[in-house]
Structure 1
């Protein structure tokens, strides 16, 4: 199937080059980390770091944002598609290892990366043209920011969605404070605190993706989208829905979390992380105790910051959420757990982070308040 998909993609490229010589232009070399193409009235952004699971770095951000701005102001452009190369990942996250290395020595990357990433997230969330993200493969962290705020998000059976930041001393950023509280019930809080992974059709059923299309139909889907003459939102939605209806080779099972949605709504509805812990203990079911065991591995500071972020984010705009999240990101870079989490998970990979403080009781209200406190005026992100 992998070979067939590669051949289909090549066929699609060659067909466009052959049939649309005056409309299809390639504006990047093959070795670039992002590729930009125009096919008729459609702009295509392709993440091109497959060996790094298309992890988003500052170089990519600084290429994608201005191109989206240019296309949005071009009357000839009617649609934007974001996809990726490789078979494993749409975008597995941001290049946070580089961010933490810079943060240790006071480098600018720890400031610039989040600042410019959130500006890009906001552009996608306010984009005037129909925007289709093909989230085929691992989609976490920075990859979520490139997709979830867009008008359309297409999952495949290979999609793996998660926001696992509490396990590395971070928090679900890239606008997580906006989209997670807007998922059904307390599902967003559950996903944010536990880092639970949604796969395939479940990404659609949870409301993270707007459509599901099996992966071997993606080249045909992209061709159908780029063939639209003057696409508007309803035209794009019609094409996506048609391909979703045709994606019958992948079993359509019940949502994996369906048996636990009532528990999630009640147990994760606490006003504090301590209350959620007590709810899980009181429930006592095998499932509840499994969730408790998962939470006990996470950064206590990150969990408290995350819960407040999501509770307050429910009444904030995307822009307000991103402004606040930039403050939190900088506090993470000034504190300890972010560095320790990256060390344990990504550098040494011993999976044994030593959180500071190590318990929920040790995370004071004053510390949580500090994470949300204003930065010096010249450092604030204002969207």
Structure 2
């Protein structure tokens, strides 16, 4: 939501400008839940180019216009069309987006983000890599890619692998949305601030001294933060770690099937609805991420995997069911876990001929 009453923000689908000591980036495509396009990624990068060397900017604030969410992710209809056409637009977008994700994670100034409403896929990329991540009572955070025949990307394999215990494995495989408390529990956010306090918090951020750093920003947010209500992860942590600690999807599925709690039943049902190929690729990526030294290594691996996803039937079927025909009834191929062997998973791990970094 647009909290700051300033006329200094300029742009179209991304508005940016300086308000006091705060560099503001506002995603401004509310009709499509601020879904990211290549032009939007480039505009975010350009704003960071201006804010990083500017001594008058103490911190950056990322937020989204509209009542429904910060960002629902990348524009997957464009992915679908580009993959069908083989025109390379999907790869161009992902290359720019992933490099932006790495930049956000390494940004030298405090990067504050208000993760209101739907914060999914690419929305997690522009938020959870930041240094000061604020969730509210409306937050619905997810990496839902296994439901469209894809896998968690935007550096999410790094974030999910770093989550405590097996929380990240659950989030990555099921793709289910979590609210504020669980987003914090899993390490995707830092503070819960009631939505009605965000406007005042934003105004206070504009009044930071130009020499303010991470500690000052943390202290200021802390003045507005309260305990996040509810949450399922903490109370179900032993079950989650017990069921999701295996290195094969079949073992995880069997462990969940043996549980009798409503939470286990819900999670089990959610996972079974996802693309079997995506489940196996995702688990392999998450386990590889655990052995990885940094975010860039994971982004590089994810980017290489996207080259294979464009040749995978489930990707097109998942997007067809979700946004083209909207029947919410994808027909996965192969349709069962036991039909997916190493020969199907291995191509996702081939190095990309044009790496992101280096």
What is the TM-score with the length of structure 1 in the denominator? 0.89
Separation in structure 2 between the aligned mates of residue 149 and residue 290 of structure 1, nearest angstrom = 29
| Match of residue 80 from structure 2 | 100
Separation in structure 1 between the aligned mates of residue 324 and residue 177 of structure 2, nearest angstrom = 22
Deviation at 1:284, TM superposition (A): 4.5
Deviation string, structure 1 residues 234-261 (Cα, Å, up to 9, x no partner): 000000110114xx8xxx5442233321
| Match of residue 21 from structure 1 | none
Separation in structure 2 between the aligned mates of residue 73 and residue 260 of structure 1, nearest angstrom = 45
| Match of residue 225 from structure 2 | 244
Q: What is the 5 A alignment of 1:196-275?
A: 196-229=176-209, 230-245=211-226, 252-275=228-251
| Match of residue 10 from structure 2 | 27
Deviation string, structure 1 residues 195-244 (Cα, Å, up to 9, x no partner): 12112343334322111111111110001011001221000000011011
| Match of residue 313 from structure 1 | 289
Separation in structure 2 between the aligned mates of residue 27 and residue 288 of structure 1, nearest angstrom = 48
Separation in structure 2 between the aligned mates of residue 164 and residue 266 of structure 1, nearest angstrom = 22
Deviation string, structure 1 residues 83-111 (Cα, Å, up to 9, x no partner): 11111110011101111111101112111
Deviation at 1:69, TM superposition (A): 2.4
Matched, 1:380 2:352: no
The answer on whether the counterparts of 1:156 and 1:201 sit within 8 Å (CA) in structure 2 is no
Deviation string, structure 1 residues 113-163 (Cα, Å, up to 9, x no partner): 111100100000111111001111110000000010110111111111111
Change (3 A) 1:280 1:334: same
Separation in structure 2 between the aligned mates of residue 26 and residue 90 of structure 1, nearest angstrom = 17
1:357 to 322, 325, 334: 334
| Match of residue 337 from structure 1 | 314
Separation in structure 1 between the aligned mates of residue 42 and residue 75 of structure 2, nearest angstrom = 14
Change (3 A) 1:64 1:215: same
The answer on whether the counterparts of 2:303 and 2:352 sit within 8 Å (CA) in structure 1 is no
Separation in structure 1 between the aligned mates of residue 297 and residue 187 of structure 2, nearest angstrom = 22
Deviation at 1:78, TM superposition (A): 1.9
The answer on whether the counterparts of 1:26 and 1:38 sit within 8 Å (CA) in structure 2 is yes
Deviation at 1:167, TM superposition (A): 0.6
| Match of residue 79 from structure 1 | 59
The answer on whether the counterparts of 1:34 and 1:60 sit within 8 Å (CA) in structure 2 is yes
The answer on whether the counterparts of 1:79 and 1:129 sit within 8 Å (CA) in structure 2 is yes
Deviation string, structure 1 residues 55-104 (Cα, Å, up to 9, x no partner): 11111001111221232123332211101111111001110111111110
| Match of residue 22 from structure 1 | none
What is the TM-score with the length of structure 2 in the denominator? 0.95
Deviation at 1:297, TM superposition (A): 1.1
Deviation string, structure 1 residues 300-329 (Cα, Å, up to 9, x no partner): 110111111111112321000000000111
Q: What is the 5 A alignment of 1:113-128?
A: 113-128=93-108
Greater radius of gyration (CA): 1
| Match of residue 118 from structure 2 | 138
| Match of residue 157 from structure 2 | 177
2:70 to 68, 90, 98: 90
* RMSD, matched Cα: 1.7
Separation in structure 2 between the aligned mates of residue 163 and residue 184 of structure 1, nearest angstrom = 17
Separation in structure 2 between the aligned mates of residue 351 and residue 361 of structure 1, nearest angstrom = 24
Matched, 1:294 2:270: yes
Unpaired segments ≥5 residues, structure 1: 18-24
170-179 or 346-355, larger mean C-alpha shift: 346-355
